[in-house]
Amino acid sequence: MPAPIKLFSTKPSSSKPKKQPIEPLPKTFSENQAKKAIEALLNHYEKVKNQKEQEELIPKEENVWLVVNTKKGSTKRGLMPIKIQLPNPPLPPPPTTSICLISKSPQREYKDLLIKHNIKFISRVVGIEKLKGKFKPFEPRRELMRDHELFLCDERVLTLMPGLLGKMFFETKKQPIPVNMLRKDLKAELGRAISSTYFHPSTGTSYSIRIATPSSSNSSEILQNLLSALPNVISNIPEGWENILSIGIKTSNSIMLPIWNSNLKGRFDKSIKNQDKENDIEMSEEEEEKEEEKVTEQQQQQQQPKKKLISSDKSQIQQQKKKSSTIGSGSVTKKVKSDLIGTPKSKKVLKKSKA
């Protein structure tokens, strides 16, 4: 028997979405507002950092995230992240940032390849067989995720990552970044992957893009990365600036500080018109229902006298039947009694005999 044909794939596509042309920032976008938000965010980070140093033995490193909220979600979801080159690296250079490379099997071959190209900034190499064996239980996978800040993977095994790593890697924004391990200049390929940030297409209405690390970046560097990343991010969102609701920045544990908001004038006009149409439709439906009720009431009223006539005819017929059943029954009994007992004499005959 031939194998069944799969009309629809349940796996997300690894192809890149269609990119729109890069548009300049709108006139309503203020760089001063962005600078104020960055400075306020860094001041908040310093306060929280001092508290964490007193409470935690090894505080976790935080990142600065560019948050873009849209009016409508997308229907397409892809595994292939979109690389965005930044003027300043978003992560501290190794060995401060721990990097893990997920490779094909055998694992030893790719370790030797890194040694051959004199690549020393990769902290660990994990093969597919190790992910299927040693790191298959939940606890070892969670420890692997906590031990490394950035994950790279051979682009030939990218489609296997959701099933092998699980959703916790994607929820913490640590999904692997695909790299081409067949490049001749492998060191430059891995270096570009580390120094770039990435836009991950999703079906939601909010996107988060890492643009800096507050411990190793100042406000001017963060502002440069924000102004460089924002047009590239908007170009990869369906409908571009028309679909953008708001833009802000935040750290890993802070609230979002707004930078830009879209003009909401006329946004709800369509919904109001639709509500008016729905109300008109509901009114017309109510009128139709009332007319139908009137018609049914008239029909019921017309049917009621007919039912009364039919019931009166039936009662008359039943009464006639009762009468017919009782006719002659009394005379027959009287005759039988007279035959047996004799006919009684009337009172007049008795009076004459007495006289």
Any domain includes 41: yes
Residue found under tokens 């009464």: 319
Average pLDDT over residues 90-95: 86
In a domain? residue 128:
yes
166 and 224 belong to one structural domain: no
Same domain, 175 and 224: no
Q: Look up residue 346 and give its two tokens.
A: 């009337």
Residue 157: which CATH number?
Answer: 3.40.50.790
The three-state secondary structure class of 204 is coil
Pair 73, 121 in one domain: no
pLDDT tens sequence across 131-173: 999 999 999 999 999 999 899 999 999 989 989 998 889 888 8
Let me know whether 190 and 205 are in one domain: no
For residue 350, what pLDDT band results from cuts at 50, 70 and 90? very low
Looking at the structure, tell me whether residues 96 and 168 fall in a common domain.
yes
150 and 128 inside one domain: yes
31-42 pLDDT, tens digit per residue, is 999 999 999 999
Amino acid 271: pLDDT: 54
The distance of Cα 331 from the centroid of its chain, to the nearest Å, equals 93
pLDDT tens per residue across span 284-331: 666 777 777 777 777 777 666 555 555 566 666 666 655 555 445 555
Is residue 252 in a domain?
A: yes
Q: Is there a domain that residue 20 lies in?
A: no
Cβ neighbours of residue 25 closer than 8 Å, sequence gap 6 or more: 227, 230, 231
Q: What is the mean pLDDT of residues 179-188?
A: 91
| pLDDT of 116 above 70 | yes
- Helix, strand, or coil here: 104? coil
* Alpha helices (runs of H) in 185-340, residue ranges in sequence order: 186-195, 219-235, 269-326, 329-340
- For 351, the enclosing helix (H) or strand (E) is helix 347-354
Last residue of a domain, which of 149, 175, 195? Answer: 195
The rounded distance, in Å, linking the Cα atoms of 5 and 258 is 49
Domain end position, chosen among 171, 195, 219: 195
Q: Is residue 99 part of a domain?
A: yes
Per the domain annotation, does 300 fall within a domain?
A: no
Percent of the chain predicted with pLDDT > 70: 71
| Residue 19 CB neighbour total at 10 angstroms | 10
The CATH number of the domain where 220 resides is what? 3.30.190.20
Same domain as 170, residue 222? no
Among 76, 154, 90, residue whose Cα is nearest residue 122: 154
Strand, coil or helix: what is 71? coil
How many structural domains does the chain have? 2
Q: Are residues 214 and 257 in the same domain?
A: yes
Residues 98 and 231 in one domain: no
Say yes or no: 106 and 175 in one domain.
yes
Task: Give the percent of the chain with pLDDT over 90.
Answer: 41
* Owning domain of residue 142: 91-195
Global confidence as pTM: 0.66
User: Within this chain, do residues 115 and 34 fall inside the same structural domain, yes or no?
Assistant: no
Phi/psi at 284 (5° precision) = -65, -40
Q: Is the pLDDT of residue 10 over 90?
A: no
- Exposure string (b/e) for 47-69, b if CB count within 10 Å is 16 or more? eeeeeeeeeeeeeeebbbbbbbb
207-221 pLDDT per residue, tens? 999 999 998 889 999
Specify whether 157 is located in the same domain as 103.
yes
Of 195, 220, 247, the position where a domain reaches its end is 195
